[in-house]
A and B are shown apart, each in its own frame.
Chain A
């Protein structure tokens, strides 16, 4: 538990109730905040003066070949090695079962000697089918956003800045389809990163690789434009470079993580909730109100400019735009009462959509970096679920009643409550959803649905207690050993507030997309564009400072960090800059 050191706080910050926060639909309305890993990474990079340079740029005129970027931190040196290869249009696929991509890449610890480069060249392009080197911290792959990519290259080659239309839809030239860390396919274990001062924050190695890929996408289109028309080609305008991010396409493969790492999720959500509680407990002043108004208008403009294919999400975004209008009006007029932020969140909770509520919460966190940024170091945890074998069984039963009442309240015997089952497909061993009673594979169900397991455990414990009222947990488990993992989980998670997502993952109306968005928001994604219920496209690092800005060792780290809800360069302050370039 982190002590709150906030001298200006009005009162002891109070975090929200787990029952409210851990509702799946609410989690599925989260946006990135300043504590999200992409934001934290950029702050750390700026603060520690990381330097990123290109060591090798060996591409042919089609843009195929090898490129290496060096990442120098105060503690170590790393390299992002990228392999760009020809890809038949028919083979370009976001599907996890794809086996060829436009580019494949990896983040290497240390230098890239010839022998290592040879091994990387033989294996990284194969991704899952390769045997990856243990000095690789991350491997990933990406496909071009073909239409945008070609338009941008053609425009630059003819000496014209690309139109904004090429950027506003997704805001990227490349889209990753998986970013692997933690020992996958032979790469380094997370255990090694835990003690690495550069990558001790969760997913910071993955985010670093993606951030460097963004630079590659810029360098590659400029190179291709120059190759095609050396006489007329121009470089991409700086505001447009900044407006470029990296896309990501994510599917059900991400869902088990949220369920299988409840201690980590508890840590993440707890940090976010602590930050919100700290922010809400601050006495508002004109400066903070003005800042909130600026952030609110920027977020509103961002959602106005965001177009997504999914009609439901588009509707939710439009709702945010409309509701933000009301909030901005209200904020402009309301007196600066000491509990203004509490009034704001109370109103939001009572009257606004979940999207708007969580957006406001994120903006409030943004107001007080001096009081909340210490929480970026509270995101990692050593995960260990342990049994308390000597716990009286009756106490275990009471723990379930107290902490898992939401699971006991559900009736899992109705067809709609047990509609889905989760399984792992033979295709790349990816998780999938099947319909119980219709699709094959229910006998191999993954135990991701925690709620029905808790309820079943509760029933078994109650039966056992009737015969053995004074028994210990371990005695119950000696008789019913298959319950050991769920009992361990119940005992461990009862001591936490936010680890368990309070949803029935079997239920017909359950939307897996909410699980994906939960994690993606903590990673720092924006522009959520669901493709049905099981897939979502997002963008990372759009609006983030460029590597050239990082290398210039920014003097104003506050401005360097201020890149949430990026606007098209024609909007607001950037408008003049862009027009002067046209």
Chain B
């Protein structure tokens, strides 16, 4: 079915509140999902794949700062979805980038990393150049780089598979973000190793997708839509006698 941008944003926000997000985090998470969906970057698919886990997350668990100095921060994402854990970590990096010209943040142990793009777009809109990198632990190994130019809300995205990489045993379910006040950080493929480019999203294609979404609406899966509505129900109060008074004047 087709829904509007505003509708998707509103229902997602209520759904996130329904599963225990605070209001501000629910707003941010809804914006992140809807932003991706409006650029045809499959935000709802990404949400849906991790939805069960997201619902099961303990809302009281907070990401923690493992290390920080003026330029660098390492944050433990506590195996939470980026929807729960990343907005403030990214704001921390943003503050450092502003102060020092360039900052690096590693968010360890986080899920649904794809969805981080929506918040990166927001920071880029505030005048920050940035690039995010993460690696998916699958065969073949794939890497994803997402870059935003300052004041542009449209990313440049590269997804590629690599084969000839040194062995490593450390789990890598984190994400690394570099922010720079004045330097363009858009990804350009240049490697001595063999790689296969799996996806390349150019600005023009993304803008066209956005235009389509605003003109024709956003196609969403009926089941996912239903699920979001169901989760949103938890924010609503059952009807009772007195509540009818608010529904309008007596007829």
A-side interface residues toward B, CB under 8 Å?
92-97, 131, 134, 177, 182-192, 249, 251-252, 384, 386-387, 389-390, 423-427, 429-434, 439-441, 444, 447, 472, 474-475, 477-478, 481-486, 488, 531-532, 534-535
Contacts and interface: CB of A to CB of B under 8 A. Distances in A.
Best-buried of B2, B27, B89, B243 by chain A (most CB within 10 Å): B243
Interface residues of B, number: 49
Contact of A96 (B2, B23, B233, B248): B248
Interface in B1-44: 1-7, 22-25, 27-28
A433 B88 contact: no
Best-buried of B91, B126, B235, B251 by chain A (most CB within 10 Å): B91
Contacts of A426: 233, 236-239
30 contacts: A92-B251, A94-B248, A97-B248, A183-B6, A186-B3, A186-B4, A187-B4, A189-B6, A191-B5, A249-B248, A249-B249, A251-B247, A387-B91, A389-B94, A425-B237, A425-B247, A426-B233, A426-B238, A429-B236, A430-B246, A432-B246, A439-B242, A441-B243, A474-B92, A475-B92, A477-B88, A477-B91, A481-B24, A484-B28, A488-B24
A481 B4 contact: no
Q: Which 10 pairs, one residue from A and one from B, show the smallest C-beta to C-beta distance?
A: A183-B6, A485-B24, A183-B4, A441-B237, A95-B248, A432-B246, A484-B24, A390-B95, A482-B22, A389-B91
B247 A97 contact: yes
Contacts of A97: 244, 247-248
B18 to A, nearest CB: 10
Interface string B222-251: 000000000001111111101111111101
Given A95-B251, A429-B236, A478-B62, 15 more contacts: A131-B1, A424-B236, A425-B237, A425-B246, A426-B237, A426-B238, A441-B238, A444-B236, A478-B65, A481-B88, A482-B24, A484-B22, A485-B22, A485-B23, A535-B249
B214 A192 contact: yes
Contacts of A183: 4-7
B135 interface: no
Nearest to B18: A444
Contact of B237 (A182, A424, A486): A424
Given A189-B6, A447-B23, A478-B65, A390 B98 contact: yes
Contacts of A431: 246
Interface of B: 1-7, 22-25, 27-28, 62-63, 65, 87-89, 91-92, 94-95, 98-99, 122, 125-126, 214-217, 233-240, 242-249, 251
Given A134-B4, A189-B214, A191-B5, A484 B88 contact: yes
B235 A389 contact: no
Contact of B246 (A390, A433, A440, A488): A433
A423 B214 contact: no
Best-buried of B3, B236, B247, B251 by chain A (most CB within 10 Å): B247
Contacts of B234: 444
B236 A440 contact: no
Contact of B22 (A94, A186, A481): A481
A426 B247 CA distance: 11
Given A95-B248, A531-B249, A184 B6 contact: yes
B67 to A, nearest CB: 14
Nearest to A92: B251
Nearest to A481: B88
Given A92-B251, A94-B248, A484 B6 contact: no
Contacts of B240: 439-440
A389 B247 contact: no
Contact of B5 (A185, A189, A386): A189
Contacts of A423: 237
Contacts of A189: 4-6, 214
B88 to A, nearest CB: 5
B44 to A, nearest CB: 16
